[in-house]
Amino acid sequence: MPRISPMTATAVLAMLVASLLSPASAGQRNSASTNQTATSHAFGVAGSAGGLSVNNNAVEQGNFRLDGARPHAGQSNGADTVSTALSTALSVSGDAGAASFNTNLTGQENVGSPKRSIVQLNSAPTVQTAVGTAVSIGGDASAEATNSNGGSQHNSR
């Protein structure tokens, strides 16, 4: 039978105790904060000017704990999103078009043990700003600004 030194035994015991007491073993946490900015400027003389700014964001988060090990283990997901799209177009003797789009899709799910009580939290606050500005002297001007946000959140035990 191999012998284990007291120093090695103490180190192994310390690692076991630390893993049991660490926050990672006590719960599960996902965080995906996103900050996006898209800016475009267009200028045309004796011709058209077009500006386009686009932000797309997709986050999928999931926590699964089926062992029932800890009675008060927590599961949480956080997906804070800030998106800004700014587009400007200026044309002299031509058409001007500016478009700004923000799209945010978030999916969050927590599945816990049916044997134990568990705290589950999903959070996906979203701030979106889209601005389109078009000015034309001697032509057509069009501007569009669109924000789109979709989310799915599910907790079960």
pLDDT for residue 8: 59
Please provide the average confidence, as pLDDT, over all residues in the chain: 83
Average pLDDT over residues 72-81: 83
Query: Please, which residues bridge with residue 145 across strands?
Result: 100
pLDDT for residue 70: 55
Query: Please, which residues bridge with residue 76 across strands?
Result: 29, 121
Q: Give me the residue spans of the domains in the chain.
A: 35-156
CA-wise closest residue to 136 among 94, 107, 103, 78: 94
CA-wise closest residue to 86 among 43, 128, 126, 38: 38
The predicted model scores a pTM of 0.72
pLDDT tier at 23 (50, 70, 90 boundaries)? very low
Identity of the residue numbered 33: S
pLDDT for residue 69: 58
Does the pLDDT at position 64 exceed 50? yes
Contact 149, 104 (CB under 8 A): yes
Pairing state between β 74-78 and 119-123? parallel
- Encode pLDDT of 27-44 as tens digits: 788 888 999 999 999 999
- Encode pLDDT of 81-93 as tens digits: 999 999 999 999 9
Q: Distance between CA 88 and CA 7 in Å, rounded?
A: 68
Phi and psi of 118, rounded to 5°? -150, 145
